[in-house]
A and B are shown apart, each in its own frame.
Chain A
Amino acid sequence: GENVEQHPSTLSVQEGDSAVIKCTYSDSASNYFPWYKQELGKGPQLIIDIRSNVGEKKDQRIAVTLNKTAKHFSLHITETQPEDSAVYFCAARMDSSYKLIFGSGTRLLVRP
């Protein structure tokens, strides 16, 4: 089955710097890749997603890139702010399955 690996597990950056979180997936049939942000004690919130027919997608300070050949995708956050501090999860989904397979999460700390 599908397996998603996520790195790093923790990331600390200075406010204003960029943060990059990387995920790799195992099944080339996966074609949908969402990113979720989870604040302490809350449910995950979708922040951006990308489909396999697109290489890059951007929404203000957040961007996601996808390399289908290498089977990896990354989340890029520019001009980080303290409110970006949270746990971020990547996930992968195949058309043939309704399930999302989640990465292990990255705890991002943005230092003021």
Chain B
Amino acid sequence: GAVVSQHPSWVICKSGTSVKIECRSLDFQATTMFWYRQFPKQSLMLMATSNEGSKATYEQGVEKDKFLINHASLTLSTLTVTSAHPEDSSFYICSASWVGQETQYFGPGTRLLVL
């Protein structure tokens, strides 16, 4: 149980374009979803937290206008990287949880390469 999927698993795009990444909870209702970024050989860095039906809460230093997060349903959250630049190239991972649950369940990640 508690399976989280992400799509796509990898994406290559040109600088200046936008990229959307989907995160889905497959067998539970995710009241809260988290978006992380991970650079090579580094730890996970929380970018933002989203609760279903509410605006996302962004961590300090994360541009909310650049990383648009939508959590419109209890099984789907999306992260859109707008006007992507090479420095946005990274591994983006989502996780999900539900009310009263301490554990976060992670998706398989999306590798983004901006040329």
**Which of A13-21, A62-70, A73-81, A94-102 has 4 or more CB atoms under 8 Å from chain B?**
A94-102
B43 near A46: Cβ-Cβ < 8 Å? no
Given A32-B102, A102-B43, the answer on whether A43 and B108 have CB atoms closer than 8 Å is yes
- CB-CB contacts below 8 Å: B88-115 with A: 93, 95, 97, 102-109, 111
Given A34-B103, A93-B102, the answer on whether A99 and B49 have CB atoms closer than 8 Å is yes
* Binding site secondary structure of chain B: strand
| Proximity string of chain B (37-75) to chain A, C-beta cutoff 8 Å, 1 when within and 0 when not | 000001110100100000000000000000000000000
- In angstroms, Cα B46 to Cα A28, docked, is 21
- In angstroms, Cα B106 to Cα A48, docked, is 14
B109 near A42: Cβ-Cβ < 8 Å? yes
* Nearest chain B CB to A86 CB, angstrom units: 13
A contacts with B, residue count (CB < 8 A): 20
Find chain B residues with CB under 8 A from A8 CB: none
- In angstroms, Cα B97 to Cα A93, docked, is 13
* Nearest chain A CB to B52 CB, angstrom units: 13
B77 within 8 A of A: no
**Which of the residues A32, A41, A46, A100 comes within 8 Å of B109, measured between beta carbons?**
A41
A3 within 8 A of B: no
A44 near B106: Cβ-Cβ < 8 Å? yes
B105 near A46: Cβ-Cβ < 8 Å? yes
A45 within 8 A of B: yes
